Structure 1
Amino acid sequence: MKKAYYITRMGRLERKGNTLFFENEEIKKAIPINSVSEIHCFKPVTLTSGAIKLLSEKNVPVHFYNKHSYYRGSFLPREPSVSGVVVIKQAEHYLSGEKRLYIATQFVEGIKASMLSLLKSKGANCSKLEDIEVSGQTPEELMGVESQLWREFYSLFSGLLKHFSFNGRNRNPPRDEVNAMISLGNSIMYSVALTEIRKTYLHPAISFLHEPLERRYSLSLDLADVFKPLTTFRVILRLVNRRQIREEHFERDVGVLLNGEGLRTFLGEMNSELERKVFHPRLRRKTTLRYLMRLECYSLVKHLLGDSTYRSLRAWW
């Protein structure tokens, strides 16, 4: 199974022979390109023409983030999986109000189920969250329901944190430690979702819950939101409550951000969570959370083609 590779220092990626190297004034490190799913750069990194060619040959995207860990953009090799039929069907389902509403509803149902899975595993009283009905006549109304779900989720999540206070979501930039970690984790999930979508026939810019806009891959937002409670927020709880992340792992600039040590700690735990295996009852074998994201894409493709009806993830672990 291929894994993500994270770069937390300034430098450059270059090719020597058939090997990719990360280099700066202090280190020169080979990157196992054949076992890498994607590369995440959290500091300025230069890609040489040789590195770009090798990354393209191996179909390894590179995602870039700013100093506050917000997603800035990606180097994306030529799409490995292309199907005009699927893209046409995807556009048809977006243009049909009824078909789009069904898929958007499924995404919100999946988000709610993931929230409940995490919170109930920690013993939280989820009665108010459970009572929120997922329904709407338009995607905009469903986005309103999603916002309501997140507000209740944040309130319950705050009560589970032992060593940091969290009084709701803020961003651009985050003003406290928990929001800094949420922004980082959510950005990673957006990029991972984009990587997994590109391994299927889906077009990442045609979405159903979020509105497609220029300069963003909005289907990645639809998919990532279903998995964020199971990844980003699970990791934050573990790191905070076990004191693996503490106040000294943050710095204040314009807003709050993780310092170098804190960033590496968070990324290591996030990667472990994405590679964590759970038993899949339908496949009758264990699979990683990362691969579950791709299975969601495959299920959506089958729905678009009329082979089966899409039902979003209902976390069972």
Structure 2
Amino acid sequence: METLFVSKDAQLKRRENTLFLTANGASKPYPVEKIRHIVMLSEAKMNSRLLCLCGRHGIRISVFDYYGYFKGAFEPVDQSPSGRVKLEQSRCILDDKTKMAIAREIVRGAAHNMQANLLYYRYRSVDELNIPICQMDRHIDKIGKTESCDELMGVEGNLHQIYYGAWKLIDPALDFGKRIRRPPNNPVNCLISFLNQMTYTVVRHEIFKTHLDQSLSWLHSPSSSRASLSLDLAELFKPLFTDALIFKMVRKGMLRDNWFNQKDGVCLLSETGRKHVAMHFSTRLEEKLKGRTYREWMYKEALNLERHVMGIYEYESFKRKI
């Protein structure tokens, strides 16, 4: 278990060289050699001794707020910084031609993986999906003609609009209306926001294992977020984690009323809901595809970008087999 998801109020303590998590009066030890990432989804208490232990063993702590949004992290000192990689990454981004080539490839990968989700259900006799799939094809054809990231993001926005609009064809219960983020207004919008943040957080963790600079990105503006590179790569994996998990939970009737707190047009996950959703996310993260877990595919994606900026080979984004 590389990532520990803490979904209830807890206290983290250090006892010698072991991490102890106390919740509901019970304590459980976690060997620091097996943990590399702690995701705090609820309130927690910890002290500097615990942080020093995490820093020494390269353990990141990611913190979510009450609304289910990632707000910050305790990050260990970079164990193997590489000025050469950061320099080449900067050059790659400052060159408009090189930057756009990578940005287009990221959007192509994201569009491919969104289409793969729709094609999965079309192959299972949901023929109505032919129309949105063809509409997405027309926008995918525009990706190679874009000349700026703003134009490319516009194409991506149109792709998402068609894609989200097709969800109701898969199952009427997936019809969540307009995409509303802050704050979400219904259970499906709530799950999209929360799981997108979870995906972003894990992608961020996997990028940290490489020499890439998280603040230098190709698709999203580097000034929009400190870890904007994570926003780039998360686009590729959201269809596999956020969307596929929502399809599964909704279509199998797994959602329960006590998973959500709904009041005055705002819908948030309860502690129970966070616990169950995090459990399904964690399970998905360790599932294997072509001999690698999805977590390992995230790391490989970041590594492929690093190799691209170093001129080892051309970057090709992760695309789920259709």
TM bucket, shorter chain: over 0.9
Displacement after TM superposition at 1:264 (Å): 1.3
Alignment check: 8 A CA contact 1:162 1:241 kept: no
The question of 1:198 aligning with 2:208 is answered yes
What is aligned with 2:286?
275
The one-letter amino acid of 1:68's match is Y
TM-score computed with the length of structure 1 as normaliser: 0.93
What is aligned with 1:105?
104
Find the aligned partners of 2:154 and 2:28 in 1 and give their Cα distance.
47
What is aligned with 2:321?
316
The question of 1:128 aligning with 2:135 is answered yes
Find the aligned partners of 1:169 and 1:37 in 2 and give their Cα distance.
33
Displacement after TM superposition at 1:242 (Å): 0.7
Q: Map residues 52-91 of structure 1 onto 2, 5 A cutoff.
A: 52-91=51-90
Find the aligned partners of 1:14 and 1:244 in 2 and give their Cα distance.
34
Alignment check: 8 A CA contact 1:86 1:301 kept: yes
Displacement after TM superposition at 1:97 (Å): 0.9
Find the aligned partners of 1:67 and 1:258 in 2 and give their Cα distance.
9
- Structure 1 segments unaligned to the other structure (5+ residues): 280-285
The question of 1:289 aligning with 2:294 is answered yes
The one-letter amino acid of 2:83's match is G
Displacement after TM superposition at 1:96 (Å): 1.0
The one-letter amino acid of 2:231's match is L
The match for 2:168 among 129, 139, 158 is: 158
Aligned CA RMSD, in angstroms, stands at: 1.5
Alignment check: 8 A CA contact 2:136 2:159 kept: yes
Alignment check: 8 A CA contact 2:17 2:32 kept: no
Displacement after TM superposition at 1:23 (Å): 2.1
The one-letter amino acid of 2:135's match is K
Alignment deviations for residues 168-220 of structure 1 (CA, whole Å, 9 cap, x no partner): 31111101110100111010111101100000010111000000126530000
The question of 1:300 aligning with 2:311 is answered no
Find the aligned partners of 1:29 and 1:309 in 2 and give their Cα distance.
46
What is aligned with 2:148?
138
Alignment check: 8 A CA contact 1:68 1:180 kept: no
Runs of 4+ in 1 over 6 A off after TM superposition: none
Displacement after TM superposition at 1:316 (Å): 1.4
- State the number of aligned residues: 310
Alignment check: 8 A CA contact 1:12 1:48 kept: no
The one-letter amino acid of 2:241's match is T
What is aligned with 1:257?
268
